[in-house]
Structure 1
């Protein structure tokens, strides 16, 4: 098959190029730069320069590739988040999830592309009420913290547009692993080592994790399996911050995290950060396992934190993302 990966040098896209090539597919990957194009070529794909916010650029790239499958993995994330100014941090990515998604879907329709797979997210986007673990049938948060309102709206938009086009939206959990903020040398992991990530309040916010290589494997599965719809791509064990954060600190040889009241943390990480740490909800992967024929290599974050944080855990060409 001809596979088109929009965002072929990103966190997930960089892993997809060698996976699809190894499976015998003809792969076109996009990058914003000539250097990125060269990395895609080195992994066995055909690299093209594309600006995901420029509809004409998107159309040219997609029509030239004439793909059977289009995979949308374009973001503009650096790994550093300002929780008090979350929407500002995600401003460009929000454009890519709205105007960029529209451009890709329009080009795919014109090219006669038969299958579309689009990246989404699950975690703080879940409604912060009711059951501790949400399925794809549960609503997104109807009352998001204002600092993240635009970002949630962009995620919801990309999902609706994907479903309207008959595609699959993969809601990835919180990434960890090589090259990620929560990975060896990453900003968040180093903050945990320096004891700078506290348990806020009772630490009852539930998080669902996804190793970066498991996200790539799920995307490969979605390229050929599963009906149109939304799929949570997370591990088997949603967990409260009070459970996973101390274990992460123990695994990396750090002191146990401190505990701070919510009102103190609010001054540093804002209402959004406090909500995520105290009232967030996890996500179920049952649908993805049943309908995509996918299961996470790292079944739980416990195993992943022990053996999947470092470079040696990557079993694809993660150097593409550098």
Structure 2
């Protein structure tokens, strides 16, 4: 197949390119800069310079690639500071990529007759409803209101999911990835979050009862290849088998990174520092189930649990 990856130089896109070329696909990948185009070429694909927020630039790139499948991996996550009180501000560019860039890509895809459209979404914790059991499936609705700090980010996620799964004439697939970890990510032995955990600057708040779902970056890439090649249209959670509360995974992670034991703070003391949304991330959020993806995509994560991944897959 001819496959166009929008965002081919990102943490996930750069892993997709070699996997797809090795599988015999003809791959085209976009970057915003000429250096990125050259990097895509070096991976054995065809690089294209594209401004994802410019409809004409997107159309030109998709027309050049003439793909059977478009893969939307556009985000702007490399410059996040971790400020939970300013979540929407932190994700402002990613939100534009999930709204404006999604619309540009879908319009171009319809014009050239793209058969399948695979897009990145999120399912690691905060988008899930915070009532009921600790683990949610794709059948469970997303949260109605995550709090004022993240309302725009939720709107953007709902937009990309709705636009892709309802696009006429296109098989729309949405992948709700869990929290990435592994080489090249913020959570790695050399990444910013890994350093925060190692230095005990990532505390357990209010008992650490918030449930998070994780996925190793290589497992996320393998699941994406599966979604490109097979599976019915729809939404899939791409997470490992082991959703777990912060109070369980954070001390273990600190130990594996050779760091200090994490501090423990009561919610009332943490709230002025991280806001209501931050306290929710630590205490009330819910994880996600991967049963549908394993069943319908024929995919199984190599790192079935963050326990193994944090121990052997951090890079």
TM-score range, shorter chain: over 0.9
Q: Secondary structure in 2 aligned to 1:223?
A: helix
Q: How many angstroms does 1:134 deviate by?
A: 0.1
Of residues 161, 167, 171 in structure 2, which corresponds to 1:159? 161
Give per-residue Cα distances to partners, 1:100-120, cap 9 Å, x unaligned.
101101111111011110000
1:6 alignment counterpart:
6
Give per-residue Cα distances to partners, 1:227-254, cap 9 Å, x unaligned.
1100000000000000000110111122
Unaligned 5+ segments in structure 1 are 311-322
Q: How does 1:8-27 map to 2 (within 5 A)?
A: 8-27=8-27
CA distance in 2, matches of 1:41, 1:191: 35
2:134 alignment counterpart:
132
Q: How does 1:52-201 map to 2 (within 5 A)?
A: 52-78=52-78, 79-122=80-123, 123-165=125-167, 166-201=171-206
2:219 alignment counterpart:
214
CA distance in 1, matches of 2:101, 2:182: 27
CA distance in 2, matches of 1:81, 1:212: 19
Q: How many angstroms does 1:255 deviate by?
A: 2.2
Unaligned 5+ segments in structure 2 are none
2:262 alignment counterpart:
257
Q: How many angstroms does 1:25 deviate by?
A: 1.0
The answer to whether the aligner puts 1:233 opposite 2:245 as a matched pair is no
Q: How many angstroms does 1:272 deviate by?
A: 1.2
CA distance in 1, matches of 2:273, 2:192: 17
Q: Secondary structure in 2 aligned to 1:305?
A: helix
CA distance in 1, matches of 2:81, 2:305: 24
Q: Secondary structure in 2 aligned to 1:167?
A: strand
2:228 alignment counterpart:
223
Q: Secondary structure in 2 aligned to 1:71?
A: strand
Q: How many angstroms does 1:77 deviate by?
A: 1.2
1:242 alignment counterpart:
247
Give per-residue Cα distances to partners, 1:122-165, cap 9 Å, x unaligned.
12100111111000010111121110000011001100001002
Mapped contact 2:189–2:257 kept (Cα < 8 A): no
Instruction: Normalising by structure 1, report the TM-score.
Output: 0.95
Q: Secondary structure in 2 aligned to 1:287?
A: helix
Of residues 209, 214, 221 in structure 2, which corresponds to 1:204? 209
Q: What stretches of structure 1 move > 2 A for 4+ residues in a row?
A: none
Q: How many residues are paired up?
A: 310
